């Protein structure tokens, strides 16, 4: 069944069931997966930044993020071997370093040899 360009998916329960678009279901699944691996990583590695060593408590744990070591956010092994908990500042620094490195490596390739 189509409605204004959206696919309507009915939940079990007949015509009175909740209607959700496919996009809503996909978004909810992705958010659930994110919170799931984040929760697992915090449980496995603890409330501490792997880079700067800052310790967090439950009240400021929202400042702690999960970094994927191989850069693939879809690689989420249950043992947590691809994750490290980084504070938002160290996580930002980690990603800006690779961006800066990419920039300089491209700049060096475009320069003629001396």
HSE-up (13 A, CA, CB side) for residue 12: 0
**What does residue 43 show for φ and ψ, rounded to 5 degrees?**
-70, -45
67-93 pLDDT, tens per residue? 999 989 888 888 999 999 999 999 999
27-58 pLDDT, tens per residue? 777 666 555 888 999 999 999 999 999 999 99
Q: Model confidence at 104, in pLDDT bands (50, 70, 90)?
A: confident
Q: Please give the C-alpha separations between residue 95 and each of 26, 43, 62, 87, 88, in angstroms, as whole numbers.
A: 26, 24, 19, 12, 11
Q: Which helix (H) or strand (E) holds 102?
A: helix 88-110
């Amino acid at each position: 069944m189509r409605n204004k360009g959206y696919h309507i998916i009915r939940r079990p329960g007949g015509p009175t069931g909740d209607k959700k678009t496919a996009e809503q279901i996909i978004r909810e699944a992705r958010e659930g997966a994110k919170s799931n691996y984040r929760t697992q990583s915090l449980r496995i590695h603890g409330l501490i930044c792997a880079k700067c060593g800052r310790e967090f408590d439950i009240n400021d744990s929202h400042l702690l993020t999960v970094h994927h070591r191989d850069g693939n956010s879809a690689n989420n092994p249950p043992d947590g071997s691809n994750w490290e908990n980084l504070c938002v500042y160290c996580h930002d620094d980690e990603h800006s370093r690779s961006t800066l490195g990419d920039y300089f490596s491209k700049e060096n390739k475009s320069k003629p040899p001396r």
